[in-house]
């Protein structure tokens, strides 16, 4: 390691408490996202609660440990905590605390939110950011701290902040770029040496028999040479696992979230990125959540390319990828084929994230398919079975994907394509995907809504 970089490192080394002292009342503080959220700095900032007021903290996909700024200020008297994409932890915090909010974004353009936007006070970038703090790998011999499995919008956050601090953690894998996957010591104001807390591993979700049926319908649309995007959840991961039992070959990958299924497809030889017409030979992603084995696989893996989200998720670039198969999950679809993938009424469950980026990308890709998947029913708290295909979305329910962007919808009862279909045709196709016990009721509702044609029929 070059001597001048070592000296720069020593000159900038601080305790978390010293770094937290730069925060003043009214400040906006950015945390790294996913496993990049600081632990030591967060604790030190929370300990200053009595000295501060009106502090805004922003991150995305909160993972354990629960942030101390929320734990020490559950009513949000001092700290307002904003999450750009809700996780299970975010939901729990919002239900039990008073200062936790969802912050909707189009993930593919999220980097632009962190730059100054003159005359637009509603844009994030117009708000001065006091400090950005992110967990990184230790500094390498060339003076770089790698962002690891949380590239995302990190470098844009650095560019928008008055102060930049890295919280070094030896457990973070080194994710090779790509682009914007690292920051140089010369661009860092403070270095915090952490206690090397463990990374958060995404618990393995066991797929149900219904998930398996849906995955088999999706698999029908995957052919040799396809480029696959998998969203979060048991079913998309299952698609990757099922691919290993087929004779498919020369698959590619381009995704926002790198999950275990990609590792398994790569290890089985099914996915090699050879036939990608964009980023040939590389599996492109912007962040990862998964198992310990996945993080070990990512470390210094030259088959992977960690990119900023403005590259990995930009619709213009995604649509240029031939044969892109986008596979995402939803919570509800109404008879107009409006898709809710993020809320249960007014209760925020997840978020839009990059779903709309990839739905649009698969929709426009040459030979591509955008597939939105969901079980036809769910069990309510009272034990009753209810349909996920509903006449209209309920009060407060969020439309994540508008109807004109919907390409294919898949349930355990099959798949249908909605591209270019009229309202009455969409209704008929969608009801075919509903659970048989709810189809007659949905037809009656469609008739009342005047979106059911006299000659329509359900097979």
Residues with catalytic function:
256
Quote the CA–CA distance of 34 and 202 in Å, as a whole number. Answer: 11
Is residue 299 classed as helix, strand or coil in its secondary structure?
coil
Task: Find where tokens 């956050």 sit.
Answer: 157
- Grouping H, G, I as helix, E, B as strand and the rest as coil, residue 133 is strand
The helix/strand/coil state of 176 is coil
8 A C-beta contact, residue 418 and residue 429: yes
Cα separation of 272 and 304, whole Å? 10
Burial (0-12, 13-18, 19+ Cβ within 10 Å), 362 = buried
**Bridge-based pairing state of the strands 343-344 and 347-348:** antiparallel
Tokens of 291: 């198992």
Sorted by sequence, the CB contacts under 8 Å of residue 116 that are 6+ apart come out as 125, 126, 160
Closest CA relative to residue 389, chosen from 346, 427, 350: 427
Burial class (CB in 10 A: 0-12, 13-18, 19+), 101: middle
Residue 42 has phi, psi (to 5 degrees) of -60, -45
Pairing of strands 332-334, 339-340: antiparallel
Instruction: Tokens for 261, please give them.
Output: 């299924």
φ, ψ at 326 (rounded to 5°)? -100, 125
Concatenate the DSSP letters of all residues of 372-420 into one string. EE--SEEE-TTS-EEESEESSPPTT---SB-GGG--EEEETTEEEE-TT
Task: At 369, list the tokens.
Answer: 């398919």
- DSSP bridge partners of 206: none
- Alpha-helical runs (H) found in 13-62: 16-20, 40-46
Residue matched to tokens 């593919």:
108
């Amino acid at each position: 390691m070059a001597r001048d970089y070592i000296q720069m490192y020593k000159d900038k080394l601080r305790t978390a408490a010293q770094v937290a002292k730069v925060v003043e009342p009214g400040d906006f503080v950015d945390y790294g996202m996913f496993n990049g959220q600081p632990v030591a700095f967060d604790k030190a900032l929370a300990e200053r609660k009595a000295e501060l007021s009106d502090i805004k903290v922003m991150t995305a996909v909160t993972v354990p440990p629960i942030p101390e700024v929320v734990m020490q200020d559950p009513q949000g008297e001092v700290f307002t905590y904003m999450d750009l994409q809700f996780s299970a932890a975010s939901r729990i915090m919002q239900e039990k605390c008073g200062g936790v909010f969802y912050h909707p974004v189009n993930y593919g353009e999220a980097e632009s939110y962190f730059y100054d936007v003159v005359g637009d006070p509603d844009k994030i970038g117009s708000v001065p950011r006091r400090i950005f703090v992110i967990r990184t790998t230790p500094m390498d011999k060339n003076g770089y701290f790698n962002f690891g499995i949380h590239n995302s919008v990190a470098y844009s956050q650095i560019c928008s902040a008055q102060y930049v601090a890295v919280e070094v953690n030896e457990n973070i894998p080194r994710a090779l770029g790509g682009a914007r996957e690292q920051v140089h010591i010369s661009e860092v104001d403070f270095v915090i040496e952490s206690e090397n807390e463990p990374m958060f591993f995404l618990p393995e979700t066991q797929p149900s028999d219904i998930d398996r049926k849906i995955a088999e319908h999706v698999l029908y649309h995957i052919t040799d040479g396809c480029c696959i995007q998998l969203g979060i959840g048991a079913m998309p991961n299952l698609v990757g696992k099922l691919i290993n039992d087929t004779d498919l070959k020369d698959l590619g990958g381009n995704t926002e979230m790198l999950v275990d299924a990609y590792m398994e497809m790569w290890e089985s030889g099914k996915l090699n990125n050879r036939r990608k017409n964009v980023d040939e030979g590389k599996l492109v992603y912007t962040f990862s959540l998964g198992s310990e084995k996945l993080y070990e696989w990512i470390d210094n893996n030259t088959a992977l390319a960690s990119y900023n989200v403005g590259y990995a998720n930009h619709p213009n670039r995604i649509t240029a990828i031939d044969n892109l198969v986008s596979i995402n999950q939803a919570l509800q679809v109404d008879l107009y084929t409006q898709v809710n993938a993020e809320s249960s009424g007014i209760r925020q469950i997840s978020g839009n994230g990059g779903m709309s980026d990839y739905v649009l990308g698969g929709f426009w890709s040459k030979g591509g398919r955008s597939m939105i998947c969901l079980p036809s029913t769910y069990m309510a708290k009272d034990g009753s079975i209810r349909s996920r295909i509903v006449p209209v979305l309920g009060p407060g329910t969020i439309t994540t994907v508008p109807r004109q962007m919907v390409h294919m919808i898949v349930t355990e009862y099959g798949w249908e394509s909605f591209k270019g279909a009229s309202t009455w045709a969409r209704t008929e196709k969608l009801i075919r995907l509903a659970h048989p016990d709810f189809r007659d009721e949905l037809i009656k509702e469609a008739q009342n809504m005047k979106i059911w044609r006299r000659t329509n029929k359900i097979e």
